[in-house]
Amino acid sequence: MGGAPIRSRARRVALAGAASGLRTAGQRCPLWTADRLCLFSPDAMAREDDLRSQALTKPAFSETQASALVESVFGLKVSTVRPLPSYDDQNFHVHVSRTRDTADGPTEYVLKISNTESSKTPELIEVQSHIIMFLGAAGFPTASVCRTKGDNLTSLVSVDNNSEITSYLVRLLTYLPGRPIAEIPIGPQLLYEIGVLAAKLDKTLEKFHHPKLSCLRRENFIWNLKNVPRLENYLCALGQSRNREIVTQVIRLFKDEVLTKLSHFRECVNHGDLNDHNILVEASKSGSGGTAYQVSGILDFGDMSYGYYVFEVAITITYMMIESKSPLHVGGHVLAGFESVIPLTPVERGALFLLVCGRFCQSLVIAAHSCRLHPENTEYLMITAKTGWKHLQRMFDMGQKAVEEIWFQTARSYDSGISM
C-alpha cells in the first residue's frame, strides 16, 4: 500500500505461544505480543506528534501461525509458506496440497493479514475485495478472492496480548504469476500498454456498484493525490535543503494551480498505486525474435479511493519514471496509451506536470519522515528515493513548459504511427 516501499516497525518484541491457539472473531487467543509501529493513519496526519503517538499494530504472525490460519479459516492443507514483502499489513505466499475436495483448484495463494487500523474498516476491505472480483470478471488480470469455510470473503482473527484484544482481518487471494516490472527493462510499447491498462481500469470501474462504495471517499487519506498540501506537516524530515525548497514550491503551486481546478476534473475511482511493483508481467517471444512482455497481474488495491482520471495517469507516470533510463520520455508513452482510451481535457493536461511532481513529493517526504522515526529501516524505505529526488529536481529545473513539450510531443508521435 502507498508510494513508499514500507512503513516500518518501531521495534520487535518477543513472540510467544503456539499456532494451534488461533481463534476467529469473538474468541480470545493467548498467542503473542504484537509488533508496535507508527502508521500514516488517514485520521492522524495533522502533526508529527500524531504519528509518533499513534502506535498501531502491524501483524506479527509466524509462518507456523500463518499456516494454521489458512487451514483453520479456509480449510486448505498447507505444504509450504513463506513471508512476502509488505507495507503495513502482513503477506505470505502459501502453497497448498491438493485433496479430493480441491483437486481442480489452484495450489498457490497469498494470505493477507490487515493491520489493526485497516481491520477497523471491514467495509473498505469488503469493497476492495468486490472490486478485485468485478475486475477479474471483466477480464483484468486480478487475483481471485477465496471464501472462508463460513462462505465469507474475510475472517476477523482476535489475539489476546495480555493487556487487550487485538483483531486482524484475514483474506486469501490466489497467487498471480509474473515478475514486477521493476525487474525488467521497460520499453515504450509496454509503457503505452500500461497507460491503456490504467485508463481501462478506471473506465471499467464506472460500472461498479456496491452499497458501501461511498467508503472510498477517503477525504483525509494521505495518499490521495489531492492531499499533497498535507506534506507541510512533515517538511522537517528534509532538514534545510534544496529538496525541502522544491517540495515547498510544489505545495504552493499545487494549492494555487491544482486545488483551484478540481471541480473541472472528471471524477472516478482510482486504483491509486499502479507502481512498478504492483504490475506483474510475463515474457514471450516477439515476432522479431526478441522478448516481449504482457501484463499478467495487478496487485494491491489498498489505496483505492475516489479521485480523478488525471490522478491515475499522473500516479502511473511517476512510478514508471523511477527506474527508467529515459525518465522524461516516460510520461509521453504512458499518456498516449491512457488517452487512447480516455483523452484528457485541456484543463486536466495542464495539471499533469504538477500532479506528477506532487506524487513524487508524497512518496519522498513520507519515506523521509518514516526514516526519521525508524532509521533501522532506512535502506528499505528509501527505494523510491534513490532516483526519485533526482527526477523531481530535474523536472523542476527544466520547468513545466519544457517537460510538457517532451511529454506531449512523444504522445503525438503515436498519432502518426511513429512512437519516439
| Length reported for the chain | 420
- Determine the distance from the C-alpha atom of residue 36 to the mean position of all C-alpha atoms in its chain, rounded to a whole number: 22
Strand 155-160 with 90-96, pairing: unpaired
Give the list of residues 6+ apart from residue 373 with CB closer than 8 angstroms, or none.
8, 10, 38, 51, 52
Residues forming a β-bridge with 158: 167
Phi, psi of 190 (to 5 degrees): -70, -40
Locus of grid cell 510467544: 16
- Helix, strand, coil percentages for the chain (3-state, nearest 5): 45, 15, 35
Catalytic residues: 273
Query: Could you tell me which of 63, 320, 371, 12 has the C-alpha nearest to residue 187?
Result: 320
Question: Can you spell out the DSSP letters for 19-57?
Answer: GGG--BTTS-----PPEEEE---TT--S-HHHHHH-EEE
User: Which residues on neighbouring strands pair with residue 165, listed in sequence order?
Assistant: 160
Q: What is the 3-state secondary structure (H, E, C) of 126-151?
A: HHHHHHHHHHHHCCCCCCCEECCCCC
**What is the DSSP code string of 264-314?**
GSPEEEE-----TTSEEEEEEE-TTSSEEEEEEEE---TT-EEEEHHHHHH
> Cα–Cα distance between 214 and 65 in angstroms, integer?
35
Distance, CA of 392 to CA of 51 (rounded, Å): 26
